[in-house]
Amino acid sequence: MAVNLPDPLRRREILYGVDTPAATLSEYGQAYEEEGRFDDALQFFEQARDAKGLGRIKEQAFKLGDAFMLKRIAKAMPEMATPADWERMAKRAEELGKNLFAEQARQALAGHLEAVEPEEKQGLGKA
């Protein structure tokens, strides 16, 4: 069954509602994924703890060279982000000319996952 993307208020109710079943969260995650809205899909898959959905978003993260997405997956399910994944991310981000993401992936590989946080969240930059 295909679901329609909800308006922002309904989205919040579904995503953070205490009674929303994991299967429903995954369905919405897949709907967002199909629309190419990977950040939104990631939120639903994180909330559902959906390893298959997170795996698909992980592959998108590699295609895009997006270390932030991989970090979010690593926080949701640490076993899904291996050292080999961080090496792959660093290489891919470099290939795409995303040097900041490449450096953040190298920092995460070195055990500094917090390095993938924006400076504002680390308390280093302006909010």
pLDDT tens-digit map of 22-69: 999 999 999 999 999 999 999 999 999 999 999 999 999 999 999 999
CB-CB neighbours of 60 under 10 Å: 16
Q: pLDDT band for position 117 (50/70/90)?
A: low
pTM of the model as a whole: 0.83
Long-range contacts of 109-117 (CB under 8 A, 24+ apart): 109/83, 113/71, 113/74, 113/75, 116/67, 116/68, 116/70, 116/71, 117/71
- Region 62-81 average pLDDT: 95
Mean pLDDT score of the chain:
89
- Of 69, 10, 62, the residue nearest 45 (C-alpha): 69
Q: pLDDT band for position 18 (50/70/90)?
A: confident
Structure tokens at 74: 């690593």
pLDDT of residue 8: 94
Please name the residues in contact with 46: beta carbons below 8 A apart, sequence gap of 6 or more: 54, 72, 73, 76
Q: Token pair 């995503």 is at which residue?
A: 15
Q: Higher confidence at residue 116 or residue 70? A: 70
Quote the DSSP letter at residue 78: G
Quote the DSSP letter at residue 118: -
